[in-house]
Amino acid sequence: MSKILLTAENFAFGPIGKLLTIADLLKKAGHKLVFAGYGTSLQLARSYPIDEIHEVDTDDPNSKGKLLELTNKTDVLISAMDLQSVLVAKSLGKPVVYVDCLFWFWEDISEGLFDIELYVGERSIIDNKNNENEEKYKLKIKNLLMVPPIVPVIKKSPRKKQALISYGGGEATHWYQVGRDTNYPSTMTNILQKHVDWTGFDRVIVTTGENILRDLATKFKNSTLEFTTCGSHAGFLEEMSQSEIVLTTCGLVTTQETFQSETPLIYLPASNNSHYILLDELREQIANLPSVHLADFMDRLSLRGLSEDVSIPEVMGQLREVENSSILQEKIGVEINKLVQTRENWSNTSVKQNKEFLESLGINGAKIVGDKVDKLLKSL
């Protein structure tokens, strides 16, 4: 069996969520897993039974020595959108698998990824960008493999009278941080507590990054909302499958997992640039999507094609306006409450549409990747 180094871009829970779905298959196949990461990626990795876990900020040049050491001791790198670890592995001649869950999103893809052993592009939305990028890069990227959504198997459970609220990872260390660039979690929690009627539920769970949850539990210590990490990603999926409804930012991983679990879903306003763009796309592709968008109350942002250092501040600027306006907060809360209170009217149709959308992209993406990686490992 192989010793595999796993890395994931430290951008909320998206990349690490995809990586852990693939890691689960590799673990069951008997491979030894070593993880190197930081921030929200490290947090989620620690909840999974990985053989070795190392805190390494791959974006910090001072960490290159540690990354070189770990890479040199492993047989192959599997990276979920973490470019720096790819460059280190290539410098050592190590095989590389790169998992890109936002293939449709990019205007440009780094040439450093063109000659790796396997580039996995996930079809995550129905968008001409998938086809455009596949046409654009199929001859440039040496081993491009386009796959359906990479989603774990989610066991169905009896529903409870509970709601699950997810802010995803909540921050990305080198891009935006809570308390410095945004106060989205506390602002949204205030909106949900003040303007949404939760009396129809026995339990309302709020989940996000560990540090953010500790802060929320202190700020809202008298709240009936329950602040928890759910113990692990598996615990989160279990709570999701038992919930009557999920309210979430428009993160790709939570979107696909909620669609897969057939749980009614309400989208909260975006907390970062990718959430904003994905919500735009999903609203175009799924009729009457239960959602509340910043663009419903403020000028619509045109973020496609902009670099992260431009698009992220634009979203943060609108979020500061919401944070400083009780009027905007009330308007957002009223619309969320309408969707919560009328859920029996729209939930069955919405769940059916969501599942059909997910399946239209194909099925068994995780297994396809797992089989391809297994074949690569056997060839080493």
Q: What is the pLDDT of residue 40?
A: 85
Query: What is the pLDDT averaged over residues 220-243?
Result: 94
Classify residue 157: in a domain, yes or no.
no
Q: With bands split at pLDDT 50, 70 and 90, how would you rate the model's confidence at 127?
A: low
Q: What is the pLDDT of residue 283?
A: 96
Could you read off the pLDDT of 48-79 as tens digits, one per residue?
999 999 999 999 999 999 999 999 999 999 99
Other CB atoms within 10 Å distance of the CB of residue 355 = 14
Classify residue 297: in a domain, yes or no.
yes
Claim to verify: residue 255 and residue 318 sit in the same structural domain: yes
Q: What is the pLDDT of residue 256?
A: 95
Domain with 338, as residue range(s), is: 162-360
Classify residue 155: in a domain, yes or no.
no
Q: With bands split at pLDDT 50, 70 and 90, how would you rate the model's confidence at 229?
A: very high
Q: b/e per residue, 231-249, with b = 16+ CB within 10 A?
A: eebbebbbbbbbbbbbbbb
Query: What is the pLDDT averaged over residues 18-26?
Result: 94
Q: What is the pLDDT of residue 135?
A: 85
Could you read off the pLDDT of 185-208 as tens digits, one per residue?
999 999 999 999 999 999 999 999
Contacts of 218 (CB under 8 A, 6+ apart): none
Classify residue 156: in a domain, yes or no.
no
Claim to verify: residue 191 and residue 302 sit in the same structural domain: yes
Q: What is the pLDDT of residue 353?
A: 97
Q: How far from 341 is each of 135, 211, 296, 334, CA to CA, in Å?
A: 45, 31, 19, 10
Least confident of 37-46, 49-58, 169-178, 369-378: 169-178
Q: Which residue has the higher pLDDT, 148 or 232?
A: 148
Q: With bands split at pLDDT 50, 70 and 90, how would you rate the model's confidence at 124?
A: confident
Give me the percent of the chain exceeding a pLDDT of 70. Answer: 99
Q: With bands split at pLDDT 50, 70 and 90, how would you rate the model's confidence at 128?
A: low
Classify residue 177: in a domain, yes or no.
yes
Claim to verify: residue 186 and residue 54 sit in the same structural domain: no
Claim to verify: residue 301 and residue 375 sit in the same structural domain: no
Q: Which of 39, 44, 32 is nearest to 58 (CA)?
A: 39
pTM, two decimals, is 0.91
Q: What is the pLDDT of residue 95?
A: 97
Claim to verify: residue 373 and residue 353 sit in the same structural domain: no
Claim to verify: residue 186 and residue 317 sit in the same structural domain: yes
Classify residue 154: in a domain, yes or no.
no
Q: Which two tokens stand for residue 358?
A: 């997910």
Classify residue 105: in a domain, yes or no.
yes
Q: What is the pLDDT of residue 130?
A: 54
Classify residue 348: in a domain, yes or no.
yes
**How far is Cα 239 from Cα 347, in angstroms, rounded to an integer?**
18
Claim to verify: residue 188 and residue 324 sit in the same structural domain: yes
**Average pLDDT value over all residues in the chain:** 93
Count the domains in the chain.
Answer: 2
Q: How far from 218 is each of 47, 186, 211, 222, CA to CA, in Å?
A: 23, 11, 11, 9
Could you read off the pLDDT of 241-264 as tens digits, one per residue?
999 999 999 999 999 999 999 999
CATH number at residue 115: 3.40.50.2000
Claim to verify: residue 368 and residue 354 sit in the same structural domain: no
* Sequence letter at residue 130: N
Least confident of 13-22, 125-134, 325-334: 125-134
Claim to verify: residue 188 and residue 304 sit in the same structural domain: yes
Claim to verify: residue 321 and residue 218 sit in the same structural domain: yes
Query: What is the pLDDT averaged over residues 141-152?
Result: 95
Claim to verify: residue 202 and residue 331 sit in the same structural domain: yes
Q: Which residue has the higher pLDDT, 11 or 108?
A: 108
**How far is Cα 275 from Cα 41, in angstroms, rounded to an integer?**
18
Query: What is the pLDDT averaged over residues 355-366?
Result: 93
Terminal-to-terminal C-alpha distance of the chain? 11
Q: Which of 282, 331, 285, 277 is nearest to 304 (CA)?
A: 277
Q: Which of 185, 175, 171, 165 is nearest to 254 (CA)?
A: 165
Q: With bands split at pLDDT 50, 70 and 90, how would you rate the model's confidence at 232?
A: confident
Q: Which two tokens stand for residue 277?
A: 């763009």
Helix (H, G, I), strand (E, B) or coil at 241: helix
Q: Is the pLDDT of residue 171 over 90?
A: no
Q: What is the pLDDT of residue 64?
A: 94
Query: What is the pLDDT averaged over residues 358-369?
Result: 93
Query: What is the pLDDT averaged over residues 328-352?
Result: 98
Contacts of 133 (CB under 8 A, 6+ apart): 103, 104, 106, 109, 121
Q: What is the pLDDT of residue 198?
A: 98
In which residue are the tokens 């009328």 written? Answer: 342
Claim to verify: residue 95 and residue 111 sit in the same structural domain: yes
Q: Which two tokens stand for residue 198?
A: 């939760």
**Secondary structure element (H or E) that encloses residue 55, with its range:** strand 52-55
Contacts of 349 (CB under 8 A, 6+ apart): 288
